[in-house]
Structure 1
């Protein structure tokens, strides 16, 4: 089979599309013939951290396709079933948070291949209203957004949610989900083109990340901030969040270290909450929520599998608005 394999060098230079062994499912597993898959910044972080001596790895956490083989002991799933893949492995119940969640596509081979073997529990029936392209790019970004908004921030209708750095898959999914839940959404970006695109989705405010946030919000304070950036913007959060507000961090694109004056947290009773990915239980809830509100993930661009390096170059350049995906089968 053909696959996007990382090997031999760190970073994007180590990514090649070549032939790989087609594996058979073990007991409790299924094999999915992948039709579409989605890129995530996690893939870039993995490639950056790998070394030349590391074993070859098929990347990819997101995907959707058709079951073509079933291992012993698997019930309720048969060859020919259309499925969407839940990327987090071994995290079943929401409250049973693992120390470090395991995820498809590192350390186990992932979805950037013509077939992928996964635990049967990680296969969910594909919602019929989604196209294959939408289903393939949805899993990790939508799951991360759902857990951040509903499990961790516990947003309510009428609250004001601020999403700094709009453009990526998680941020755009969160924008649509929060609005569907009755929240008001504002966004920031360094790109005027992305701000203009966000205004098409009836956001309350869309303003420059390096500008005056109070002015951009017209003096209105926010209840929840979804943080994927970290130190580059964190000090601005403390200027625009309401007392009893929640900052939910799920990324660190500008670095890991944030300096916070503690009085700015405890006097206004702020909550700073961490989150990452989500459980199998939440994945099912997320699919039901999206289907109930007919939410479709935004797609920036789809590439054929052989052009996976070009797809990652677009992600590296930060040009996308929505998800970037691969058409495979």
Structure 2
């Protein structure tokens, strides 16, 4: 089968271990189903894997990719949910301490097909294109959970999204604007800030800028580079909702500000199957759609990885199969 896979791990040169080529066909475990993929999408998780974060050398070669949409064995159009719980787990799969994502333990979606547990396929709404449906399982589902399940505030509140170009950020801006939040964003370039305004943001600022007023909630997937600004931007009693740290995992704590102004720091990881269903329905009913940076055939995956590595991305990078 055609596949995009990791053959080596390098923290300093992640693309050195990336291969695009052929792998032997494999069968899934008993009870798993085969999805022939039409589209898939790139995430920072895929670069982290090539750096050895979440993927160990003993699992190589490993097919990369978490997001995907395609046709199941019954001929149904489906989307793939990337969170794989352990056998026998009951309840929210994102709370399973031994959960994994596709491409960590089991082969991912950057291939002709993927095997997943039967519970990890969901119907693809007819209203969504293959490109849109193929980029929801990671960044968009993460953003949906952050906004509608983890955040303590609702529509009408003022929120700040740190970073305006990545998959989680563009998803947050798009959905929050559709749902009636006042959305402020930070962006590194004038082009990224303009694009965020086009998605529905009310204001766009340079990174670290002093805001006109403090906000109710900050959504931060950047981490180390933005953490101090996130804390300083909050009203007393406000909250940071964090799902990742693309700039580094060691932010300064500023604990005195946290407890003196009674701030909350709320962690969020991925989303469960029920939330994925709700995300799909929200997109259908609201008209919100993923911002797609570019679409490439799977054979040109290396160019997509290189583009993400530079940080010059606005939305999702999608691969066609």
Task: Tell me whether the two structures share a fold, i.e. TM-score over 0.5.
Answer: yes
Does the CA contact (< 8 Å) of 1:36 and 1:132 recur in 2? yes
Match of 1:294 among 265, 287, 291: 287
Q: Determine whether 1:164 maps to 2:162.
A: yes
Match of 1:221 among 214, 218, 236: 214
Give the structure 2 partner of residue 248 of structure 1: 241
After superposition, what is the alpha-carbon deviation per residue over 1:104-150, rounded to whole angstroms, capped at 9, x for unaligned?
12121000000111111000000111110111112111110011112
Q: Measure, in 2, the Cα distance between the counterparts of 1:8 and 1:113.
A: 18
Compare 266-275 and 108-117 and name the one that shifted more: 266-275
Q: Measure, in 1, the Cα distance between the counterparts of 2:256 and 2:181.
A: 28
Q: Determine whether 1:115 maps to 2:99.
A: no
SS at match of 2:153: coil
Q: Measure, in 2, the Cα distance between the counterparts of 1:303 and 1:25.
A: 27
Give the structure 2 partner of residue 264 of structure 1: 257
Q: Determine whether 1:277 maps to 2:280.
A: no
Q: Measure, in 1, the Cα distance between the counterparts of 2:298 and 2:223.
A: 32
Give the structure 2 partner of residue 183 of structure 1: 181
Match of 1:38 among 31, 38, 41: 41
Compare 193-202 and 309-318 and name the one that shifted more: 193-202
Q: Measure, in 2, the Cα distance between the counterparts of 1:292 and 1:94.
A: 25
In the TM superposition, what is the alpha-carbon distance from 1:51 to its structure 2 partner? 7.1
Does the CA contact (< 8 Å) of 1:94 and 1:282 recur in 2? no
Report the CA distance shift for 1:51/1:88 in structure 2 as closer, same or farther (over 3 A). Answer: closer
SS at match of 1:308: helix
In the TM superposition, what is the alpha-carbon distance from 1:235 to its structure 2 partner? 1.3
TM-score by length of 1: 0.90
Q: Measure, in 2, the Cα distance between the counterparts of 1:119 and 1:51.
A: 22
Report how many aligned residue pairs link the two structures.
313
Give the structure 2 partner of residue 3 of structure 1: 3
Q: Measure, in 2, the Cα distance between the counterparts of 1:92 and 1:294.
A: 33
In the TM superposition, what is the alpha-carbon distance from 1:244 to its structure 2 partner? 1.6
In the TM superposition, what is the alpha-carbon distance from 1:180 to its structure 2 partner? 2.1
Report the CA distance shift for 1:155/1:289 in structure 2 as closer, same or farther (over 3 A). Answer: farther
Does the CA contact (< 8 Å) of 1:8 and 1:53 recur in 2? no
Report the CA distance shift for 1:5/1:248 in structure 2 as closer, same or farther (over 3 A). Answer: same
In the TM superposition, what is the alpha-carbon distance from 1:183 to its structure 2 partner? 0.7
In the TM superposition, what is the alpha-carbon distance from 1:22 to its structure 2 partner? 2.4
In the TM superposition, what is the alpha-carbon distance from 1:236 to its structure 2 partner? 1.4
Show the 5 A alignment for 1:4-153: 4-10=4-10, 11-49=14-52, 55-68=60-73, 79-90=74-85, 93-94=91-92, 97-99=95-97, 101-153=99-151
TM-score by length of 2: 0.92
Give the structure 2 partner of residue 75 of structure 1: none
Q: Measure, in 2, the Cα distance between the counterparts of 1:323 and 1:160.
A: 25
SS at match of 1:63: strand
Q: Measure, in 2, the Cα distance between the counterparts of 1:83 and 1:327.
A: 15
- Which residues of structure 2 form unaligned runs of 5+? none
In the TM superposition, what is the alpha-carbon distance from 1:173 to its structure 2 partner? 0.7
Q: Measure, in 2, the Cα distance between the counterparts of 1:297 and 1:100.
A: 30
